[in-house]
Amino acid sequence: MDRLFKNFQVSCENCNLDEICLPRGLSEQEVKDLSDVIKSNSVLQQGEYIYRQGDRFKGIVAVKSGTAKLVSNDNQGNEHILNILLPGELTGFDGLNQNRHRCSAIALEVMSYCELPAEKLDSLCQMVPGIARELFRHSGESINESQNQVITSKQSAEVKLALFLTNLSDRLKKRGFSSLSFDLPLTREEMGNLLGLTLETVSRMLKHLQNEGLITVRRKHIEINDLKTLKAICSR
């Protein structure tokens, strides 16, 4: 076990995610300073929590490998999936407001992540001039993602699925993964939860998009055959 993950003990300086993660806009020296306070490569199994709703604000978390879901539980115990997180994506900004996490982040498969601890935030912002701006940028990205979800929520079932798939495709591409052939990290039920649909409707709509020749679905595996038309459907 110990041996298995030894080669994962990289710092920000030689991490292959540096172009899409926090270091993107920083100078070499700034990355070094950042690297010193980053807690790197915690590993989780499926279902384990990165942080829990209600926890004291832990810090800003960067997904290194694998995927996670962002989940909010309402007071009746219903689970609302707010988004999924891909490698290179940051989360934790929800804890900045009241110093407590307002939602949970849960591993969808075996995954690893790095962490910029909350207690180091203030001093780091002062020491490393660019870091505050970079953090704001990522925080802004979180806002944009949430706002996308709000707009998505007003669309028909067909458009919701098309938006979900194209958004995932775009984000995978940005992170250097195949954008036309990938596995969904969510079950039909979880997709339904995320999109405000029932699992049956998700199943039917995937079938429908397949019948139109736009995608090929096999269980959780998706092939996008006609991205252009799929994107056209998004604007209906």
Partner DNA sequence: CGTATTATTGACTCCATTCAAAGATAGTGG
Partner DNA sequence: CCACTATCTTTGAATGGAGTCAATAATACG
Contact positions vs its own copies (CB under 8 A): 72, 74-76, 80, 82, 93-98, 102-103, 121-122, 125-126, 129, 132-133, 135-144, 146-147, 149-151, 153-154, 196, 235
Residue 103 beta carbon to its own copies: minimum distance, rounded to whole angstroms: 7
Phi/psi of residue 211, nearest 5 degrees: -60, -30
201 binds, among DNA, its own copies, none (CB under 5 to 8 A by kind): DNA
What the block records as the tokens of 48 is 């384990």
158 binds, among DNA, its own copies, none (CB under 5 to 8 A by kind): DNA
Residue 167 or residue 203: which is nearer to DNA going by CB?
203
Residue 35 or residue 201: which is nearer to DNA going by CB?
201
Residue type, 124: L
Residue 226 beta carbon to DNA: minimum distance, rounded to whole angstroms: 19
Question: Euclidean distance between the first and final Cα of the chain, in Å?
Answer: 50
Residue 3 or residue 218: which is nearer to DNA going by CB?
218
Q: Applying CB under 7 A, what is the total number of residues that bind DNA?
A: 22
Q: Contact between 158 and DNA (CB under 7 A)? A: yes
With CA atoms as reference, report the closest residue to 91 among 43, 141, 126, 41.
Answer: 141
What the block records as the tokens of 131 is 């870091």
d(CA 229, CA 236): 11
Give the contact letters, 186-215, x = binds to DNA (CB under 7 A), - = no: -xxx--x---xxxxxxxxx-xx--------
Residue 94 beta carbon to its own copies: minimum distance, rounded to whole angstroms: 5
Tell me the Cα Rg of the chain.
Answer: 18
d(CA 60, CA 119): 11
Q: Contact between 152 and DNA (CB under 7 A)? A: no
d(CA 107, CA 43): 10
Residue 22 beta carbon to its own copies: minimum distance, rounded to whole angstroms: 14
Residue 32 or residue 102: which is nearer to its own copies going by CB?
102
Question: Is the C-alpha dihedral spanning 164, 165, 170, 171 positive or negative?
Answer: positive
Residue 132 or residue 199: which is nearer to DNA going by CB?
199
Q: Contact between 80 and DNA (CB under 7 A)? A: no
d(CA 32, CA 13): 6
| Cβ atoms 102, 94 nearer than 8 A | yes
What the block records as the tokens of 23 is 């270091």
Residues in CB range of 3: below 8 A, 6 or more apart? none
Residue 49 or residue 182: which is nearer to its own copies going by CB?
49
> By the criterion CB under 7 A, which residues form the site for DNA?
156-158, 187-189, 192, 196-204, 206-207, 217-220
